[in-house]
Structure 1
Amino acid sequence: MKATLKKATPNPEQSFNIHKDTGHGMLSPWHYHPECELLLIKRSCGTCLIGDHVGPFKHGDLFLFGPNLPHTFRHEKKYMERVDEKRGETVVILFENNTWGDAFLSLPEISPIFKLLNTSKLGLRIKGETRKKVARIADDMLNDCPSRKLINLLSALEIITATKEYDFISSNGFNPGINSVDQGRINTIFEYTFNNFHKKIALVDVAQAINMSKHSFCRYFKLKTKKTYIQFLMEVRIGHACRLLVEEEYNMAEIGYACGYNNISHFYHQFKTLTKKNPLDYRHHYLKTEENKLLI
C-alpha cells in the first residue's frame, strides 16, 4: 500500500474545501497533501500517526497540519460502524497557504498568521480555550455562506496565533521527503503493526511484510523514521493503553493484555518510560483534570 497524495478540489463557490466525514468516510491511509489542514474530531477516538509521532486522539481534539505532513487516524471500529447519533464524525478544512493571495499575506498585520502556517509544518495540537473557540467556528463553518466561511477561517487562525495555545506534534528531525516506494513500505509496516500490536510481534515477520531481512528492515526503519521499530511498537501499544485508561473500566492487567503485554511489570515499565507516569497515576490525573473542567 502506497501513501496517497491527496489534493482537495473546492467547488466553484469556494477557494478552499470544508466538509464533514462520518463513519467509514473518516478512514484514510497514510497520506499527505499540499494544502494546510484544520481537523476537528467531533466524535471518535483511536490512535494517530502524524509525522514521526504516535499517540491517542479523542473527542474534541483539534489539529492543524502544514503542507505535505504525512498523517493518518486509526478510528476505533465502533465509531465507524454505528449508524445512530453516536456515529463517528470529523470536520475537515483544507486550504492553500495563499488562499487569500500573496499580497494579502505580505501585509504586516497578517504576518503572525503567515508564521503560524509555516510553524504548522510539524503539526499542531490546539488546546485549552483556543481549542473550544476554534472548534465552534469550524463546526459552524459547515453551514456558513461562502464569504463567511473565508472570514471565519481567517478568524480561527487569528485566534490560534494570538493565544499560542498549542503543542508541536512531530519532531524537528522528521523528514517527510521520502519517495513513493518508501511511503508504500512504511504504510505497509503501519498497517501490519496496527493489525497485530495486541499480540506478540517478531521483527522477522514485519520485515517479511516488505520483503526485507530482519537486519535490513531494522536499519531501514530507523533511517526513515528516526526511531527503532521497537520504540514505534511501544508507542502504538502505550497510545492504545492511554485511551483504554481514560475511556474504559478495565483493570491494569486487562489493559496491559489488550495492548500486547503478557507481563504486567513490563507494561508498567514501558508506560512510565513513555508517559513519565505509571498507569494508575495517568488515569487519576486525567479524571482530576476532567473534574476541574466541570468546576470552571
Structure 2
Amino acid sequence: MTATPDNSFVVRKDSGESMLNNWHYHAEIEFLYIRKSTGTWLVGDHIGHFQNGDVVMLGPNLPHCFRHEAGAMESGETICVKFLPAMMGPHFLELPEAKSIQHIIAKSNTGLKLEGKTKELAAAMIEEMLEDSPGKKLVHLLWLLQEVADSKETVPLSSKGFIQSPGNPDEERVKLIFEYTLKNYHQKISLDKVATLLHMTRPSFCRFFKNKTKKTYVQFLMEVRIGYACKLLVEDEKNVAEIGYECGYNNISHFNHQFKTITGKKPLEYKKDYLQKNS
C-alpha cells in the first residue's frame, strides 16, 4: 500500500529476503537506491548488472525485476521511494514551476539510471528521507525530483518501444521465461526447452517472445550471459576462458565474439577501461 493515514507515499528500507522481487510493475513511480547489493536487473527490455550505490528511477507500469545474488542477499540493503504521479493533486504537474518535474516523470517511463554527482546526491537524499518527519519527506521528494529533472546525468534503460499494458494476461508467461533464464543461463538452454515451458511450439514461442519483449530470445539470453560476464571481469580474478565457461559458453571464440557484439569491446579491454574509470 502506497498511502496510509500518516503518509501519502512510501519510503522503505528492505534487507535480506525482503529485497526479493519477480518481474512485476505497478502504478507508482519508484526511486530505488541499492545501498548494498549486486545482481542483475531487468527494466523493460534492458538487462544489466547493478552494484552498491546504484540509483534508478522507474516510471509507472514499467515492468522490472531486481535479482540479487545469493551472497549479496545475506547482508544487502535497498531503500525504496514509491509515490503515485497524482499524489500531489490533479493540477500540481500543470503548474509552470513543475514543468521540468512533469518532463522527468515522462522520461522515467523508460527507466532512468542516475550517474555521477546526481547519483551521489540522490542516494544521500533518499538516506535522509528514511529518518525524516512526514513533512520533510515530502520536501525532500520534491527536491529529489527537481534535482533529477535538472540533471544531465541520467541514462535511459529500456527502449521507448517497450510497452506493458496493465493487466496483460501474458505477463505471467513472460515472467516465467525471465525467471527460468536468470536461474539457468550458465547451462545449455535450447529454444525447444523454453518453448515447452509455455506449452508452445518453437516458432510460436519465438513470435510470442519477440512480440512481448521487442527482442529475440537468443538476444535476451546473450545479454543475460554477457551482463554477468561483465560483472565477473571487474570483480573476479578468473581468466577470460573461466568466466566464459561460467556464463554458459564452451567456446572461448564464441564468447569473445558475443561479448564484443554486446559491449563493443573485447573482455580484457572492457576490464581495463572499467578499472581505469573507477580507480
Structure 1 length as normaliser, TM-score? 0.92
- Tell me which stretches of 4 or more aligned residues in structure 1 moved more than 4 Å: none
1:79 aligns with 2:67: no
Q: CA deviation at 1:104?
A: 2.6
Q: CA deviation at 1:140?
A: 1.2
Does the 8 Å CA contact 2:2/2:83 hold for their aligned counterparts? no
Aligned to 1:10: 3
Residue 250 of structure 1 aligns to which amino acid in structure 2?
K
Q: CA deviation at 1:103?
A: 2.8
Residue 260 of structure 1 aligns to which amino acid in structure 2?
G
Q: CA deviation at 1:181?
A: 2.8
Q: Unaligned stretches of 5+ in structure 2?
A: none
Aligned to 2:234: 246
Aligned to 2:214: 226
What secondary structure is seen at the aligned counterpart in 1 of 2:155? strand
What secondary structure is seen at the aligned counterpart in 2 of 1:18? strand
Does the 8 Å CA contact 2:62/2:163 hold for their aligned counterparts? no
1:24 aligns with 2:17: yes
Alpha-carbon distance in structure 1 between the residues aligned to 2:52 and 2:237:
18
Residue 170 of structure 2 aligns to which amino acid in structure 1?
D
Alignment partner of 2:266 out of 261, 264, 278:
278
Alpha-carbon distance in structure 2 between the residues aligned to 1:160 and 1:184:
33
What secondary structure is seen at the aligned counterpart in 1 of 2:187? coil
Deviations 1:227-268 (A, max 9, x none): 110000000000111111111111111110110001111111
Aligned to 1:4: none
Alpha-carbon distance in structure 1 between the residues aligned to 2:242 and 2:104:
42
Alpha-carbon distance in structure 1 between the residues aligned to 2:99 and 2:204:
46
What secondary structure is seen at the aligned counterpart in 2 of 1:212? coil
Aligned to 1:159: 147
- Percentage identity across paired residues of the two chains: 51
1:133 aligns with 2:86: no
Deviations 1:69-123 (A, max 9, x none): 000011000111x2xxxx1100000001122222332221111001110111111
Aligned to 2:87: 99
Does the 8 Å CA contact 2:2/2:82 hold for their aligned counterparts? no
Alpha-carbon distance in structure 1 between the residues aligned to 2:128 and 2:163:
35
Alpha-carbon distance in structure 2 between the residues aligned to 1:273 and 1:24:
35
Q: CA deviation at 1:179?
A: 4.8
Aligned to 1:3: none
Does the 8 Å CA contact 2:61/2:166 hold for their aligned counterparts? no
Alignment partner of 2:163 out of 175, 188, 192:
175
Residue 147 of structure 2 aligns to which amino acid in structure 1?
I
Alpha-carbon distance in structure 1 between the residues aligned to 2:267 and 2:128:
37
Residue 190 of structure 2 aligns to which amino acid in structure 1?
A
1:148 aligns with 2:127: no
Question: CA 1:64–1:251 in 2, change beyond 3 Å: closer, same or farther?
Answer: same
Residue 232 of structure 1 aligns to which amino acid in structure 2?
F
1:39 aligns with 2:17: no
Q: CA deviation at 1:178?
A: 6.6
Aligned to 2:41: 48
Alpha-carbon distance in structure 2 between the residues aligned to 1:19 and 1:225:
30
Residue 277 of structure 2 aligns to which amino acid in structure 1?
T
1:61 aligns with 2:61: no
Structure 2 length as normaliser, TM-score? 0.97
Would you say how many aligned residue pairs link Structure 1 and Structure 2? Answer: 279
Does the 8 Å CA contact 2:34/2:77 hold for their aligned counterparts? yes
What is the RMSD computed on CA atoms of the aligned residues?
A: 1.1
Q: CA deviation at 1:9?
A: 2.9
